[in-house]
């Protein structure tokens, strides 16, 4: 079965060696704990320049998502995972469009909107 899989490409999350895979989960757990505690610490500390904290939180979150993808979902850049990587890249692209697109558009609309009190006066 395992040679069959290797011949045809890999399903996301599949692994062959049980021992190595167990270690990969533990390494992933270690990284995830460090990154989680770091982001909780960063959100409540005064040590870091306050305007830099949201960026730091974003970086830590994206790093942790990467750790989960690599160590838990076993996504890698191996040639037999091209399909999974392509689908993932498209997914990230769509997510980026939706989230940042909505935020930019709504911020612009909000910026260009007439102040509420003047809008109320016009309705009378």
Partner 1 sequence: MSAAEQALVTSDAVPLSLRGPAPTRVVAGYGFWLFLLSDIVIFAALFAAYAVLSGENAGGPTAAELFDKKHVLIETACLLASSVTCGFGSLAVQSGDRTSTYLWMAITFILGVTFLSLEVSEFSHMLSIDAGPSRSAFLSAFFTLVGTHGLHVTIGLCWLVIMLLQVATLGFQPMVSRRFFCFGLFWHALDIVWIGVFTIVYLGAHL
Question: Is the CB of 26 or the CB of 114 nearer to partner 1?
Answer: 26
3-state secondary structure of 22: helix
The answer for residues whose C-beta is within 8 angstroms of residue 15's C-beta and 6 or more apart is 21, 24, 74
In 3D space, the residue among 73, 100, 67 whose CA is nearest the CA of residue 87 turns out to be 73
For residue 1, state whether it binds partner 1 (rule: CB under 8 A): yes
Nearest-angstrom CA–CA distance, 32 and 24? 12
Contact flags string 46-85 toward partner 1, x per CB under 8 A: ----x--xx--xx-xx--xx--xx--xx---------xx-
Tell me the site size for partner 1, rule CB under 8 A: 55
For residue 114, state whether it binds partner 1 (rule: CB under 8 A): no
Question: Is the CB of 36 or the CB of 121 nearer to partner 1?
Answer: 36
Question: Is the CB of 33 or the CB of 114 nearer to partner 1?
Answer: 33
Nearest-angstrom CA–CA distance, 100 and 71? 27
What is the smallest separation between the CB atom of 96 and partner 1, expressed in angstroms?
8
């Amino acid at each position: 079965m395992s040679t069959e899989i290797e011949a045809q490409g890999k399903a996301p999350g599949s692994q062959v060696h049980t021992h190595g895979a167990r270690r990969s989960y533990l390494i992933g757990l270690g990284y995830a704990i460090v990154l989680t505690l770091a982001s909780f610490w960063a959100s409540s500390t005064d040590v870091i320049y306050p305007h830099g904290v949201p960026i730091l939180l974003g970086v830590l979150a994206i790093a942790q998502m990467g750790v989960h993808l690599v160590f838990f979902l076993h996504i890698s850049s191996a040639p037999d995972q091209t399909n999974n990587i392509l689908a993932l890249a498209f997914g990230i692209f769509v997510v980026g469009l939706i989230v940042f697109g909505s935020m930019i558009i709504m911020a612009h609309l909000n910026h260009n909107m007439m102040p509420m009190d003047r809008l109320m006066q016009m309705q009378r």
